[in-house]
Amino acid sequence: MVREGAWSVVPFGRRTAAENLAETERLVEAVAAGTAGPTLRWYGYTGRAAITGVGQAPGTVATDLEARGIDVVRRLSGGATVLADAEMLALDACLPAASPLAGTDVVEAYRWFGEAWRTAIVAVTGEVARTAIRLVPVEEARRDRSLAREAPNDPVPLAREATCFGFLSPYEVAWQAADGTARKLVGFSQVRRRGVVLFQAGVHWRFDAEVMTSLLAIDGSDRAAVVADLKGRIADLAEAGLDMAAQDDLITAFVTAATRALGEARGA
Q: What is the pLDDT of residue 221?
A: 87
Q: How far apart are CA 196 and CA 93, in angstroms?
A: 11
Instruction: Say what the pLDDT of residue 153 is.
Output: 66
Q: How far apart are CA 188 and CA 170, in angstroms?
A: 9
Confidence of residue 5 (pLDDT cuts 50, 70, 90): low
What is the residue-wise DSSP string for the chain?
Answer: -EEETTEEEEEEEEE-HHHHHHHHHHHHHHHHHTSS-SEEEEEEESS-EEEE-TTPPTTSB-TTTGGGT-EEEE-SS-S-BEEESTTEEEEEEEEETTSTTT-SSTTGGGHHHHHHHHHHHHHHHTHHHHTTEEEPPHHHHHHHHHHHHHSTT-HHHHHHHTBGGGS--TT-EEEEPTTS-EEEEEEEEEEEETTEEEEEEEEESS--HHHHHHTB---GGGHHHHHHHHHTTB--GGGGT--GGGHHHHHHHHHHHHHHHHHHHHH-
**pLDDT for 24-49, tens place per residue?**
999 999 999 999 999 999 999 999 99
- Cα 161 from chain centroid (whole Å): 15
Give the model's confidence band at 177: pLDDT under 50 very low, under 70 low, under 90 confident, else very high.
confident
Q: Which domains does the chain have, with CATH numbers?
A: 2-267 (3.30.930.10)
Which pLDDT score is estimated for 130?
Answer: 78
Mean of all residue pLDDT scores within the chain: 92
pTM of the model: 0.94
Q: What does the alpha-carbon distance between residue 59 and residue 53 come to, in Å, rounded to a whole number?
A: 13
Cα separation, 96 vs 231, whole angstroms: 37
Contact 236/129 with Cβ under 8 angstroms? Answer: no
Percent of the chain scored above 70 by pLDDT? 96
pLDDT score recorded for residue 151: 61
Pairing of strands 82-84, 49-52: antiparallel
CB 170 within 8 A of CB 137: yes
Is residue 120's pLDDT more than 60? yes
